[in-house]
Amino acid sequence: MTSPLAGLTHARVLRVAGPIVLSNATVPLLGAVDTAVIGQLGQAAPLGAVGLGAVILATLYWAFGFLRMTTSGLASQAQGAGDLPERSATLIRAMVVGVAAGAALIVLQRALMTGAFAIAPASAEVEGHARDYLAIRIWGAPATIALYALTGWLVGLERTGAVLMLQVWQNGLNVILDLWLVLGLGWGVEGVAFSTLIAEVSGLALGLWLVRDAFGAALRPALARLGDRVALRQMFGASRDIMGRTVLLQLSFTSFVFVGARFGDVTLAANQVLMQFLEISAYALDGFAFAAEALIGQGVGARDPAGTRRAARMCLQWGFVGAAVMAAVIALAGPVLIDLMTTAPGVRAEAQAYLPWLAVSPLIGVAAWIYDGIFIGALMTEAMLRTMLVSVALYGVALLVLVPGFGNHGLWAALMVLNAVRCLTMHRAAPEVLDRAGL
């Protein structure tokens, strides 16, 4: 069988990465529109309720984010091996897990809401609106979590144009319904919730249509494989590793915010503004990480060592090109963008003082982001977890050493240490990844 990476070109890498870059660019749009629309009501409580409710759901859904990455790696390897029944079985298994997880959240909604409001107490008015919002949106949980699996499957098969279509459809419909239900019909918080719910369910329907080939001739043999113990062990093992790695990474960013809060409100606000630059960089460069997931997975599945190495090299090369562009944009346009994000003179001045850290951050972090894609494609998730453990440990040491002497500059330096150590440890583990993948 001819390897799917035979004759791999830079144009193919860009075809996979490009739609993801565009898709990710729409992610911040939805939250901004929800905020703007509910803000037109002129009341603080509904605005706070939508924000609080959205954060609660995002936190719950985030716990299942591993489903996208695990499905991507498994699907790309099945595609590379030419195993169409296993390719379909991968999608069905993951979607069953997603729907079951969403159904569990619906059943447990009362307890989850009680726990959430105990952790993040709000005024009676805000909590009342937030409960109304959550009571509606929670019914979209099965669709939202199942879409993680569906999106991962599309990425693994290089169908990132379909991922872009899904994202544009969901966000576009959500915006239209927001305007109609909230501003047109005056439904308030419930209107925002129903808009998102309808967009989520319709997104799943569109997604199922986009992956309809998974339910064709390969469906019967795929259903026969759903309970395969080896495949299930691989799926749940990879999911466990990725979830552990993601928890460690999230704890690192949470500790960054908590430590930064010690330096006062102005510095805390400035750090929050600057973190938007880091998030935008990561979202943009994720396109090349997604390309790595698809291409590396196919190379491993096809047992093509030369093609796999070439794919990794190309994705890293384009990642560094993208990082250089992002660094230049932040360095040149950063002051203007900071002024657009805040009107507070003190916050503006404070943010500009630390802007150089953000200008170099894409160059320091890009290799780690691309290696994430490489490791996911090779399904060497235990190496991801191991390198993250080392990186977070050294990040903790950097916090203890740098923050007392250098304040907020030390805090940003420690964050750069986290990404730099991730790059170095993953680079060192990369040959092992390929060896253990049978290459």
How many Å apart are CA 409 and CA 243, to the nearest integer?
30
pLDDT (0 to 100) of residue 165: 94
Report how many helices (DSSP H) and strands (DSSP E) the chain contains, helices first. 16, 0
Query: Which three-class secondary structure state does DSSP give residue 216?
Result: coil
Q: Does pLDDT of 433 surpass 70?
A: no
Best mean pLDDT range from 33-42, 173-182, 242-251, 309-318? 309-318
Query: Which three-class secondary structure state does DSSP give residue 347?
Result: helix
Q: Does pLDDT of 54 surpass 90?
A: no
How many Å apart are CA 434 and CA 439, to the nearest integer?
5
Question: Residues 183-232: pLDDT tens digits?
Answer: 888 888 889 899 999 999 999 999 999 999 998 888 889 999 988 899 99
pLDDT (0 to 100) of residue 342: 72
Backbone angles phi, psi at 234, to 5 degrees: -65, -45
Q: Which amino acid is at 224?
A: A
Q: Does pLDDT of 32 surpass 70?
A: no
How many Å apart are CA 201 and CA 215, to the nearest integer?
20
Under 8 Å between Cβ of 289 and 18: no
Q: What is the dihedral of CA 377, 382, 387, 393, to 10 degrees?
A: 140
Size of the chain in residues: 439
Q: Does pLDDT of 36 surpass 70?
A: no
Question: Residues 349-395: pLDDT tens digits?
Answer: 988 999 999 999 999 999 999 999 999 999 999 999 999 999 999 99
- Look-up of token digits 């430590």: 259
- Look-up of token digits 């080939």: 213
Under 8 Å between Cβ of 360 and 415: no
**Dihedral angle sign, alpha carbons of residues 308, 310, 313, 315:** negative
User: Percent of the chain at pLDDT above 70?
Assistant: 94
Q: Does pLDDT of 297 surpass 80?
A: yes
How many Å apart are CA 82 and CA 435, to the nearest integer?
21
**Local confidence band at 438 (pLDDT 50, 70, 90 cut-offs):** low
| Burial status of residue 220 (CB atoms within 10 A of its CB: 0-12, 13-18, 19 or more) | exposed
Q: Does pLDDT of 85 surpass 90?
A: yes
Backbone angles phi, psi at 216, to 5 degrees: -90, -125
pTM of the predicted model as reported, rounded to 2 decimal places? 0.90
pLDDT (0 to 100) of residue 159: 95
pLDDT (0 to 100) of residue 31: 61
